[in-house]
Every structure is written in C-alpha cells, then in structure tokens.
C-alpha cells in the first residue's frame, strides 16, 4: 500500500516515476502521431481532443461536484459563435478571442449555477437542458450570428495582424498541434484545480453539501464557481470545434450533443480526469468512425445490414450509433459504475499483484 509521508506528495503532478514514464511516452506518441497517420485520423483526433477538453470540464461539475448538467451544448455554442464573431467582426486575435468567448461562457455558467443553489438531481438537469435549448434558439434567431443559416469561421491566424505579425493555421495538421497544446494545458489545469482548496470544496459538496457547509464551505460560491469553471472549459472546446468544422449552425449544438457529453463522462468514470479522457476518446471514436462505417466492418457489417433490412426502418442502420451508445452506457452503469477508469483500476491491480 502506498503511504504518503509528505504533503507535497499529494500535490505533485506525477505520483511516481512509472507515471512520469508512461505520460512521457503518451506525449511522444501524440506529438509524432501525424508522421505515420493518415490525414483522416488527424481530423478525427482533433475532434477527440476537443471533446476531451469539454469532458474534463464537465467532469469537474458532474463528477467532482455532483451537479448534473444537460446544457453544455449551449456553452459549447457560446464558445464557437463567440470566438468566430470576435475574430470576424472585431478583428480580435484568435487566442484572445477564444479566451474572451470562454469567459462569456463562464459568465453564463455562473448564471446557470444560481438555480443550482435550490435545485438538485433531475430538477437541475431539466433546468440546464432548458438553458441549452434556449441558447440554441436565441442564436438561431439573431442575424448577427447568421441566423438559422449558420456561420462560417474566419481564417485561423495565431498572429496579431494589427502589429504586422501573422501565423496562419490552414490545415488539419497545424490545427492538430494547436489543439493538442491547448488540450494538455486544460487537462493539467483540471488536475491542479482538483488538488487545490477549491477542488477539495467541490468534492466535499458532492459527498454531502450539508456536511460541507458545516465545515465552512461556502455553498453559493463554490456551486456557481463549479458551473463557471465547467462552462469555461466548454467555451474553449467550442471555440476550437468551430475551426475544425469551418462552418456550423445552431442545430449543430442540439440536445443530443449535450447528452453525448454526459455519456462521455459517465462511460469514462465520474470524478476522474483520466476517466474523462478515456470516455471522450471512446465515445467520439465510436460515434464519428466505427459506428458511422459499421456496414464496412467484416462479417459484422453484413449482419447489421441484414438486421437493418429486415427489422429496422430505411434509416435504421444510421440510428445504430445511438442505440449502441445507449447500450454501452447501460452496460457501464450495471457492470462497472466507475466506468472505464474502474476497468483501468482493476487491470492495474491485477498487473501489480500478478501472479497472486
């Protein structure tokens, strides 16, 4: 059993040399991935990393604080539309624009967090769902955001044109490294937030808000702060997502998207940053790649086509993705409530104690 002998052991980023080794190996793999991967997988990994950022932020709210949100597609939309509009209308540099848009999303998260002082569980989930739907329809009704026709992102430039410095990002490979660096910063930030007094207060509220208040945790501040932090992460993710697509409309950020974000967190493992990464990676891969091309999978694809022709509607196979992800989530809840992180813990214990 690992026993901590110093307070610094609790706040250090890497718990052991083994963790440092495998983290370094993963980073080397990610930074060299474009050297041996087709361009399609670079595009897919860009989407995965954006979802990782959002899932890590949502896990701070749902997993660490115990507050369920079904409205994160709204914060996602604020990040995407805010970043694109600040750049195209006010000619603000990208990095500054995405941070401002994320703070706007955080402000709306703070506003949405106020009902959390009175609502819990399914009531809070319904309230947040209403927020997400409201944001989608408000954006769709405003011509400044392109209305229901959508909005095209401006050229992505990391420089400051006003100072004569330009650093254009034009292809998926350049976007990959930009998103990768931002994703690493956001993940490390989430890990450190959960180690601070704020993060411990979040966990105390999740375990028992009454007990947390008794020991001095200010519930109004920390509950709204959890929403704001989570919305900030969603705003950053939305700002990056807009430039991956190049064009988006209000219905891109629909209710199903909010549900899928929550599925990523639950499947990965509530309350863990590692679980958020694993859940976002698995669900995004299944949704954007494997299930979309299920008909091309050897043997199983033909079987699914047969099932679709015989039992499904004419678009039945396209609905297979939603059905399969729903079944995966039900299976995770029944057989492994800790999600993929729980599976990883079991594998790790088996490996460390083998052959006993």
How far is residue 213's CA from residue 75's CA, in Å, rounded to a whole number?
28
How far apart, in Å, are the Cα atoms of 287 and each of 11, 47, 177? 36, 11, 23
Residue 271: what are its φ and ψ, rounded to 5°? 90, 5
pTM: 0.90
| Band of residue 278 on the pLDDT scale cut at 50, 70, 90 | very high
What is the separation, in whole angstroms, between the first and last Cα of the chain?
15
Contacts of 303 (CB under 8 A, 6+ apart): none
How far apart, in Å, are the Cα atoms of 136 and each of 40, 237, 314? 29, 17, 29
**Sign of the torsion angle spanned by Cα atoms 143, 147, 149, 155:** positive
How far is residue 134's CA from residue 136's CA, in Å, rounded to a whole number?
5
How far is residue 337's CA from residue 268's CA, in Å, rounded to a whole number?
10
Q: Does the pLDDT at position 183 exceed 90? A: yes
- Between CA 78 and CA 85, with CA 82 as vertex, the angle to 5 degrees is 145
pLDDT: is 313 or 241 the higher one?
Answer: 241
What value does the mean pLDDT take over residues 197-219? 86
| Band of residue 170 on the pLDDT scale cut at 50, 70, 90 | confident
pLDDT: is 179 or 150 the higher one?
Answer: 179
Task: Summarize pLDDT for 44-92 with one digit per residue, the tens.
Answer: 999 999 999 999 999 998 888 888 888 888 999 999 999 999 998 888 9
Q: Does the pLDDT at position 318 exceed 70? A: no
Q: What is the pLDDT of residue 104?
A: 94
Q: Report whether 319 contacts 307 (CB < 8 A).
A: no
Using CB atoms within 10 A of its CB, is residue 312 exposed (0-12), middle (13-18) or buried (19+)?
A: middle
pLDDT over 70, % of the chain: 94
CA proximity to 100, closest of 86, 89, 88 = 86
Q: Average per-residue pLDDT in the chain?
A: 85
pLDDT: is 11 or 282 the higher one?
Answer: 282
Contacts of 46 (CB under 8 A, 6+ apart): 172, 175, 176, 179, 244
| Band of residue 350 on the pLDDT scale cut at 50, 70, 90 | confident
């Amino acid at each position: 059993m690992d026993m901590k002998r110093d307070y610094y052991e609790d706040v250090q980023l890497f718990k052991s040399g083994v963790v440092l080794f495998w983290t370094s190996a993963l980073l080397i793999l990610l930074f060299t991935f474009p050297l041996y991967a087709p361009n399609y997988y670079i595009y897919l990994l860009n989407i995965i990393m954006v979802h990782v950022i959002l899932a890590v932020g949502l896990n701070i709210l749902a997993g660490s604080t115990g507050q369920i949100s079904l409205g994160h597609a709204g914060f996602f939309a604020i990040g995407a539309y805010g970043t694109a509009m600040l750049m195209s209308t006010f000619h603000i540099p990208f990095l500054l624009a995405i941070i401002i848009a994320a703070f706007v999303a955080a402000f709306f998260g703070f506003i949405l967090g106020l009902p959390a002082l009175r609502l819990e569980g399914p009531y809070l989930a319904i309230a947040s769902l209403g927020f997400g739907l409201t944001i989608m329809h408000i954006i769709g009704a405003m011509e400044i955001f392109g209305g229901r026709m959508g909005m095209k992102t401006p050229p992505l430039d990391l420089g400051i044109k006003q100072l004569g410095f330009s650093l254009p990002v034009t292809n998926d490979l350049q976007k990959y490294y930009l998103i990768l660096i931002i994703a690493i910063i956001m993940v490390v930030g989430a890990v450190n937030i959960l180690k601070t007094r704020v993060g411990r207060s979040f966990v105390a509220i999740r375990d028992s808000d009454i007990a947390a208040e008794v020991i001095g945790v200010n519930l109004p501040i920390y509950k709204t702060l959890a929403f704001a932090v989570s919305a900030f992460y969603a705003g950053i993710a939305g700002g990056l997502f807009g430039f991956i697509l190049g064009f988006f409309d209000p219905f891109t950020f629909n209710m199903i998207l909010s549900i899928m974000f929550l599925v990523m967190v639950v499947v990965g493992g509530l309350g863990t940053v590692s679980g958020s990464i694993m859940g976002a990676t698995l669900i995004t891969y299944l949704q954007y790649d494997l299930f979309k091309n299920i008909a091309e999978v050897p043997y199983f694809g033909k079987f699914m086509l047969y099932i679709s022709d015989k039992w499904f509607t004419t678009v039945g196979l396209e609905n297979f993705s939603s059905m399969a992800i729903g079944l995966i989530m039900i299976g995770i809840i029944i057989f492994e409530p800790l999600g993929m992180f729980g599976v990883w813990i079991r594998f790790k214990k088996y490996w460390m104690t083998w052959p006993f």
